[in-house]
Amino acid sequence: MMRLTVFSVLALWVLSLMAQQAPVDPQRTLEQRVLVLERRVQTLSDLLRQIDRLQREVQQLRGELEVQNHTVDSMKQRQRDLYLDIDKRLGQIKHSGASGIDAEAGDGTVRPPAPVTASQAMPASVAAPRGVPAPAPSAPPPASSAEERDYQHAFNLLTLRRYDEARKAFESFLNKYPSGQYADNAQYWLGETGYVTRDFDTALTDFTKLLKTYPDSPKVSGAMLKIGYIEYEKKQLVQARGTLETLIKRYPGSSAARLAQEFIRSKGL
């Protein structure tokens, strides 16, 4: 396992250079010459140790960077897959008219849909004022081919991580189809464009608008979850816990409720 490393070659080269530029005085005694050489060797040894330490630190940083890059790429891939899967399943439910299918369970079990009022769908911080009747739920009209095309275009931009373009596309979609078949989905993904880019104030406004405008949407639990996350990021810890606990209470057994429980536990809320 004896092999000449780069540092060994460097050491020999430096020693040779030092010997050429600063020859030992022949008038000195042998002991003095040895002391001078020892000091030079010690200086070179210290330098080589520092270089070796720096090399190890660089290698460690490179390894950590690779791990982080892999983790980020994996998270982005899982996020895109989740977007596509959820949106596909919700689209199937809407087109089939099976509003009683539990999309969270994913097992096709038909259950009677639980009525959700506007005040129930919102966290305490955005609940409707007392005395104001909740808007009656109304089924959106069937989606036209133009609506489906525009929605798919905006959603494709989101999956490609072209967030600024996706935001503009979803805003345009909602201006054209404010009561359309995919309006609640578009409002949710509009909030998501702000959330993934850490524009938390804008995202909070968009998610809150979803709760108020589409209180019966399947996206409500996801919007409440993101609102709790955003409140945590904004250091509003009491509000964050309250929002997440409200979500857990009103949507027990849902994936959003499970994520909320895990978040409260991991963050010590």
DSSP string over the chain: -----HHHHHHHHHHHHHHHHSPPPTTS-HHHHHHHHHHHHHHHHHHHHHHHHHHHHHHHHHHHHHHHHHHHHHHHHHHHHHHHHHHHHHHHHHHHT-TTB-TTT-S--B-PPPP--HHHHS-GGGPPPTTPPPPPP-PPPPPPHHHHHHHHHHHHHHHTT-HHHHHHHHHHHHHH-TTSTTHHHHHHHHHHHHHHTT-HHHHHHHHHHHHHH-TT-TTHHHHHHHHHHHHHHTT-HHHHHHHHHHHHHHSTTSHHHHHHHHHHHHHT-
Q: What is the pLDDT of residue 25?
A: 56
179 lies in which domain range? 121-126+144-269
Question: Do 49 and 154 belong together in one domain?
Answer: no
Q: For 256-266, what is the mean pLDDT?
A: 93
Tens digit of each residue's pLDDT (9 = 90 or more) over 91-129: 666 555 443 334 343 333 333 333 334 444 444 444 444
- For residue 77, name the pLDDT band (cuts at 50, 70, 90): low
Number of domains in the chain: 2
Question: Do 151 and 47 belong together in one domain?
Answer: no
Tens digit of each residue's pLDDT (9 = 90 or more) over 169-210: 999 999 999 989 899 999 999 999 999 999 999 999 999 999
In a domain, 169, yes or no: yes
- Write the CATH number for 237: 1.25.40.10
Q: What is the pLDDT of residue 33?
A: 72
